[in-house]
Amino acid sequence: MSKEQNEIREKENHRVFKQLLNTFTKVEEKELKKEDNKVEYAKNVQITPKVFYNKFTKQLKVEFRIGDKQSYKIKNLPEFYTRMLNKEFYQYGSKLNLLHEEKYFAKDSIPILKFLLKYSEIMKYHNEVLQEYSQYIKNFMLDNILISNTGLDDFFDSLIGKQVLFQNGSKETTIYFSQEEPDITFNIIQENNKFKLSCNMDVFSYDMLQGKTYIYLLFPNAIYRCSKQFELNTLKLLETFRKNYTNEIIMDEAELTCFFAMIAPKMEKSIIFDTISADIKEKCIPKKLGVKIYLDYDQNSNIIAEVKFCYENHEINPFIDQNVSIARNMVGENEALNMFIKTGFLLDKNNNRLILVDDDKIFAFLSDEIETYMKKYEILATDRFKTKQIHSFQMKSIGISIENHLLKIDFSQIGIDLSDLSEMIQKYTLKKKFHRLKDGSYIKLEENETMQFLDELTSNLDINYNSLKSGIVSIPSYRSLYLEKMLGTLKNVEIKKDETYKQMVEKLKENQNSADIILPENLNAQMRLYQKIGYHWLKMLDEYEFGGILADDMGLRKNSSNVMCYIIVCK
């Protein structure tokens, strides 16, 4: 390498080291600034938002000021986010020295601080992506956040119950963020044979803002968060006034009856009709709606439901044209019918009733949904319906015996028709929720101790499903200890064991736990412990005629004449 090249390389090394030194010096200076007792950091710093509203685009944007004794506008929100991320010190003015950590902010400013940081981060990385895409694109919206639908929900959450500066055009006021819905009522006034519906407020005095989850009503002095029910009912009525550029709607008697049947039930607390005469109320306002449901099964074990809408002494079948001259609550009636539709009921036109034919939907109705119906309506069920309910299958009795060196398992007293048993186990294996018996009732298969026992028994002991139909299955007797262990998991089940089985299990347990291993007297060999255990195991197999395999890796010295002789005897 030439002298000139050496000099260039040496200069480069000095440059890199100087850069390294400066980097650590800056870090140290930053830490010293934090620890410098002469610098008095601001505490309980307030973040004050100011909301701007564009009445033409129906959009909100927000700016922020920061300070304790004196406030300063945050001119660059992405930079503020970076300072908070790095916990940097920054002097905003002569009266605000701020170390950007959450603990230096006032407690009531923390929610709006978190909102500011969340959307400033989005702004920062959005601007960086744009600049990377094109060097000619400059940063924009550095000092304010334009409120999106999702942002409106977040922004409202951070300011619930607070009064905030608000600018609408050139007019600056304050606005209150209210979680309570606005108190809006509608009054019906009778004027001769006409009825005037009006609102207790100017229907043109608000703007509607759409959040992601909620709807908001913006008034000159407050913004209200409203529920979905408010949007679907009160707001729809308000919008009808606005779209027709009117503050009142005039109705005749027939229209008033329809209003009370279709609209008023959805918003009863918001409708005032004190001035209406008693005879008009009697004719136009529905009496309290009662719903009676008569449940039964048909010949195909489908659920049938007869529905009656009751108003005092009147009972109405909604599927029959009846000339009934009473005011009806159509909202309540439709709500009941829609509930049946969601459950899966179909209209049986021939019999003017509803019918449920799908097994899965019948099971869902019986196991869960019927409880909702019972809470809302009057349910009347026939004896036939009551008997065909959902049952949790519980095994009653099982018998165990030994015949011809085989274990016999008797399911004949299990408590269910054996022709259903194999299909039930198959469905349980397939994670099905229920099995429908031949009598139309249902067996719940989920979380069922008996079904779990039968599934493990058939799968682990190689029992064919079809063999269960006879009520008795046979398995090799060497499975007795495993079967005994499984039987121990059953609760509230009568287990009948014959004496032969009891004695065999007892001896097997004794042999398993026995510490004394007696070897043949004529054995001419010094056997190790594991070889003694192996011998003991073979002897036990021989005693109960179980049979077994002597594997190469058991270490029992199969070349030994004594052990070989014993194996031959076992055969």
Span 181-198, pLDDT tens digits: 999 999 999 988 899 999
362 and 395 within one domain = no
> Quick one: average pLDDT of 448-474?
82
Q: Is residue 73 part of a domain?
A: yes
pLDDT at 26: 57
pLDDT at 34: 52
pLDDT digits (tens, 9 = 90+) for 235-284: 999 999 999 999 999 999 999 999 999 999 988 889 999 889 999 998 89
Q: Indicate the pLDDT class of residue 570, thresholds 50, 70 and 90.
A: very low
**Angle (deg, nearest 10), helices 561-570 and 529-543:** 20
Strand pairing of 171-178 and 222-226? parallel
pLDDT at 114: 96
Per-position DSSP letters for 17-37, written without gaps between them: HHHHHHHHHHHHHHHHHHH-T
Sequence length of the chain is 571
Q: Is residue 211 part of a domain?
A: no
pLDDT at 564: 42
The yes-or-no verdict on residue 561 having pLDDT over 50 is no
pLDDT at 569: 40
pLDDT at 19: 78
pLDDT at 391: 83
Using the 3D structure, point to which of 267, 284, 301 is the last residue of a domain: 284
347 and 300 within one domain = yes
504 and 395 within one domain = yes
Q: Is residue 432 part of a domain?
A: yes
The yes-or-no verdict on residue 33 having pLDDT over 80 is no
299 and 279 within one domain = no
pLDDT at 87: 92
The overall average pLDDT reported for the chain is 85
Domain count, the chain: 6
Going through 359-493 in order, the beta strands assigned E by DSSP cover 378-381, 390-392, 397-403, 406-410, 434-436, 442-444, 472-476
pLDDT at 551: 65
pLDDT digits (tens, 9 = 90+) for 71-107: 999 999 999 999 999 999 999 988 889 999 999 999 9
Using the 3D structure, point to which of 459, 494, 509 is the last residue of a domain: 509
pLDDT digits (tens, 9 = 90+) for 514-538: 556 677 777 777 777 777 767 766 7
259 and 332 within one domain = no
pLDDT at 558: 53
pLDDT at 141: 66
Strand pairing of 163-168 and 46-54? parallel
411 and 481 within one domain = yes
pLDDT digits (tens, 9 = 90+) for 251-264: 999 999 999 999 99
What domain range is 2 assigned to? 1-28
